[in-house]
Amino acid sequence: MKKVYLCISTDVIQTGHINIINEAAKLGEVTVGVLCDECAAKYERYPLIPLEERMKIIAGLKGVSHVVVQEDIYYDDILYKLRPDYVVHGDNWKRGYLKKVRERVVQVISEWGGQIVEPPYYKNASFDYFKGAMNELRGLPELRRQKLKDKIERGEIVKVIVTYDGISALLAEKTEVETEKGKKQFDAFWMSSLCDSTVKGKPDIELVDISSRVSVVNDIMEITTKPIIFDADTGGQLEHFGYTIRTLERVGVSAVIIEDKCGLKRNSLLGNEVEQHQDSIENFCEKIKAGKAAKISKNFMIIARIESLILEQGMEDALKRAQEYVKAGADGIMMHSRAKTPDEIFEFADKFRKMDSETPLVVVPTTYATVTEEELKAHGINIVIYANQTLRAAFPAVQKVMQTILENGRCYEANEQCMSIKDILSLIPIK
Ligand code: SPV
Ligand code: MG
């Protein structure tokens, strides 16, 4: 009997899959590879049904003889093991990121004369509607929190991009690039206090109140599915912090970061050029404990941010604080730096990892911008936040359009600097 292989990556089986399996069964004995959760999350969508369940469902389908786990988007491992005569896939894999996967399959199975069979892709309007509804589920607060936790636990570097309103979040939700290693997207959004203040034309001194910032979180939650990491500055008064945590948890935030400063907070990148003070270890630990006592969701993270390097208090102080904050219950440590190179961040991370191999580490490489995600990962860092680049990019573009209109006394010349109305409208989802 001929051997037939096909891979199923989604968590919802529909008529299109049944058609493909039927076609496959006509050719021989069918083995279905079920894409592992990590790959499904990375290349398709975050699976709502875990791998073991998906395997059981697929194993129960008529025409399926064997079910195996496919550990990578590329089929190589399984193909060499199984050496199938046929690989079956809907013809939709001739487009997009699957094109490369298809080419690779053709190349591998040609080694033993295997062939691909490509039934036409089955388009199903009611299923598309259902898929949309499933996507709404992916935007629920608990699922966003779970996604962030899963990604950290898998040891992948979590790439976080700043968003400060609905449209910037929508862009961050959708932007993807094709690389040698496959499709890449951002994993989470950063709600920066600097950017939330700047878009309101206000200084970054905890002046924009929590209700105003939460209203932006609501805008973003409504139209996206990725986790949100919220910059809560100092966390405010100890007595208020528990309430802030409950509010952020309720509106859907996945993690909050508070920094160990007190008094009038100034932006960290200003360092000691301005007057700003670090809180005592004791006070800050009390704040962490108050936040932990207030939170309800097990996956909601409270991350402690250390300003010792920003305020030139030295590495020993930074390491001591990290240990104390973890003891107080912090779910992660953010170490900030305004150095031009990543050396002090590497030194901190290496020393911290000798004492603590578990607690997630977060960094914000604004000034030491040459550092790569791979280098950060190699030093045990889990989360990288690109904290302000999109806002800084938007301003020069907007300013240039304004100048062009003023210079020409009309808007015609500015058109080529603008996205078309049709394109900008197409970004907005209609529910
Ligand atoms: C922010 O983005 O608001 C931050 C990071 O807190 S930094 O501006 O570098 O302090
Ligand atoms: Mg901030």
CA distance 400 to 413: 11
- CB of 268 within 6 A of ligand 1: the answer is yes
pLDDT at 15: 87
Least trusted range by pLDDT, from 167-181, 300-314, 357-371, 380-394: 167-181
- Region 402-430: what's the mean pLDDT? 93
The letter for the amino acid at 425 is: L
Q: Choose among 49, 47, 34, 39: nearest CA to 73.
A: 39
Alpha carbon distance 335, 152 (integer Å): 17
- Neighbour tally for 210: CB within 10 Å: 18
pLDDT digits (tens, 9 = 90+) for 224-276: 999 999 999 999 999 999 999 999 999 999 999 999 999 899 998 888 888 88
Helices (H), 365-410: 373-378, 389-408
d(CA 143, CA 297) in angstroms, rounded, equals: 11
Q: Which two tokens stand for residue 329?
A: 């219950």
The larger pLDDT score, comparing residue 328 to residue 41, is at 328
Q: What is the pLDDT of residues 52-106, one digit of tens each?
A: 999 999 999 999 999 999 999 899 999 999 999 999 999 988 887 788 899 999 9
Catalytic residue among 11, 85, 187, 204: 204
- Atom of ligand 1 minimally distant from the CA of 162: 2
* Chain segment 158-187, per-residue pLDDT in tens: 999 999 999 999 999 999 998 877 789 999
Q: Is the pLDDT of residue 121 over 70?
A: yes
CA distance 337 to 368: 8
Q: Which of 373, 370, 366 is nearest to 186 (CA)?
A: 373
Question: Parallel, antiparallel, or unpaired for β 182-185 and 176-179?
Answer: antiparallel
- Tokens 């968003």 correspond to 163
First-residue to last-residue Cα distance in the chain: 48
Q: Which of 189, 206, 267 is the best mutation target for the ligand 1 pocket, counting ligand atoms within 8 Å of the beta carbon and taking the most?
A: 267
pLDDT of residue 28 exceeding 70: yes
Q: What is the per-residue pLDDT for 130? A: 77
Q: Is 11 an active-site residue?
A: no
Residue 263 to residue 205: CA distance in whole angstroms: 10
> Which pLDDT value is given to residue 162?
98
How far apart CA 260 and CA 279 sit, in angstroms, is: 5
**pLDDT for position 431:** 64
CB of 366 shorter than 6 A to ligand 1: yes
For residue 126, is pLDDT > 80?
no
The mean per-residue pLDDT over the stretch 141-153 comes to 94
Instruction: Specify whether the CB–CB gap between 191 and 228 falls below 8 A.
Output: yes
* Ligand 1 and 196: CB distance under 6 A: no
- 305 CA closest ligand 1 atom index: 6
